Amino acid sequence: MNTKASKRKFSGAEAILETARKCNIGLVSGVPGYPITSLMNMFLKDSFFSDKSFWVTNEKVALEMALGASVTGTRALVINKHVGMNVLSDPLISSTTHTIGAGIVIIVGDDPGITASQNEQDSRYFGTLAEVALFDPAKPQDTATALSDAFRISEKSHSVVIIRVTSRMLESLQEVDFPDSSETTATYDLSIWDYTMKGKHQLFHAISYPYLVAESEKRAASRLSENKEKLGIVSSGYVSTIVDEVISKNKVNCSHLVLNMVAPFPYKAIRKFIDKHENILVAEETETYLESHMAMSRKVKGKMTGHLPYGIIVDDDISTAISEIDKDQVRATRKIETIASRGPRPLCEDCPFLPLYRILGKLEVPIAGDVGCLIRSAPAPLRAVETGFALGSSISVASGFSTKGISVIGDFGLAHFGIVGLINAVQLDSDILIIILKNHVAAMTGGQEAPDLTNVVRQLVEDVMTINADDESEEELRKVIQGKLVRKGISVIFIEGKCTKYCDDEEM
């Protein structure tokens, strides 16, 4: 029985928070990044969750804390952006074989269209890779249902469940019937250690995975359209909402199968849907997770056939794809975006690190950058750094340079993963200059506090100096950097500067 909420509309983010209150969650661990920073901030400010919610240094740590909560009988929620799935994938994938206790749900925010990310990856694939249940809700109501179901499914399958969200879904509004509260009775079963690793995985495939498949098939079948129109559309996530709007606005005669749970893939329900229609359009963001499961049928059209673009989908894309559905292949026409066509996203005019970037842009050595504000120093006119592979990657990348080079990394990036790269560089006796931008915050994601690792770095490296960006002239800073570049071994320069966007004077 559901509790009917008032007629008030809830955003997708509010639907998650309201449902979470009913799920008896004891730990919420998150890592900042678009589009989930504002969702996590809601938990941090909520009177029920504020003392249970924490920003943590990286997503692997966030999931490992959740695993600890789970084995001691406490439900946990992990909130991170899509690239965080790469970081937490190690304990995630192993946890399926290992088994867990109380339920764990990961809410992952994807960024179709790359508003503020380093890539456009599609987190739904982690459902398949980790062999766990994955929901891709279209609307706030689907999200509330998914979160409540996810904890039950997690506890019954002894595995983590993932819910993929996007910014447009989190911001969309809908009246919501909130599911009843559900208490946990699940405990971590130590008899799992009676099995070998192979035996644990066999046990998972004998019991848990068939249960997950049945849950997925049951949900897909309940949304199966019975009419036998020419066109059937299969969608998941926020794109389902766009498809509904296009069907209604253009009075399109078709069936629409909206999938909420997409992993394990509901093959039986999808086969039935394909059989009932002459043409199938698959509408999804950002890659071809659904379509690639269905593409053996020539009826199936989508991104792989050029009917829809890769990445973000808008209503015009759906209308055009429907009008061309009888074609086997369509030529993609989407323009490739450049910084000139989109418009630059410059650094703040009063950023304390601008003199450093100007110096770096004129040096003739390889320079590894990192993810964060400093990535904006890579394009012209500064051209300060050459790479920005992942948050915290800079020191390891510079350790691999074939000649002496520079690593530039923020203090949050250092704590996130860079410190592991530094330990490795020390172990290998690397020959690099490491410049750590110490502004005490994760500026790119909204000013979350960054731990101060100065003393930890001093324990690892002999040649460490700190420069205050306000006290040193550009010329003096250039001389210091050039002096360190002719020195053999690892040198570290902390450049202390106030992030004018997120730091008050008292915080420095």
Distance CA 280, CA 503 (A): 52
Minimum Å gap between C-beta 351 and ligand SF4 is 3
Query: 217 by DSSP, 3-state: which?
Result: helix
Q: Which is nearer to ligand SF4, 36 or 373 (CB)?
A: 373
Q: Which is nearer to ligand SF4, 356 or 367 (CB)?
A: 356
Minimum Å gap between C-beta 38 and ligand SF4 is 17
Q: Strand 405-410 and strand 367-368: pairing?
A: parallel
Minimum Å gap between C-beta 441 and ligand SF4 is 7
DSSP assignment of 415-461: IIIIHHHHHHHHHTT--EEEEEEE-SEEGGGT-EE----HHHHHHH-
Q: Which is nearer to ligand SF4, 180 or 505 (CB)?
A: 505
Q: Which is nearer to ligand SF4, 112 or 410 (CB)?
A: 410
Helix (H), strand (E), coil (C) string for 375-413: HHHCCCCCCCCCECCCCCCHHHHHHCCCCCEEEEEEHHH
Q: Which is nearer to ligand SF4, 22 or 376 (CB)?
A: 376
Q: Which is nearer to ligand SF4, 151 or 357 (CB)?
A: 357
Minimum Å gap between C-beta 451 and ligand SF4 is 17
The CA-CA-CA angle for residues 283, 284, 287, to 5°, reads 125
Tokens of 467: 């420069």
Minimum Å gap between C-beta 508 and ligand SF4 is 12
Minimum Å gap between C-beta 114 and ligand SF4 is 19
CA distances from 428 to 389, 444, 488 (A): 21, 31, 13
Asked if residue 309 has a cis previous peptide bond (ω within 30° of 0), the answer is no
H/E element, 11:
strand 3-11
DSSP assignment letter at 209: H
Can you give the binding site for ligand SF4, defined by CB under 6 A? Answer: 347-348, 351, 353, 373, 439, 443, 499-502
Q: Which is nearer to ligand SF4, 347 or 425 (CB)?
A: 347
Minimum Å gap between C-beta 370 and ligand SF4 is 12
Tokens of 340: 């000139």
The number of helix segments (H) and strand segments (E) in the chain equals 20, 20
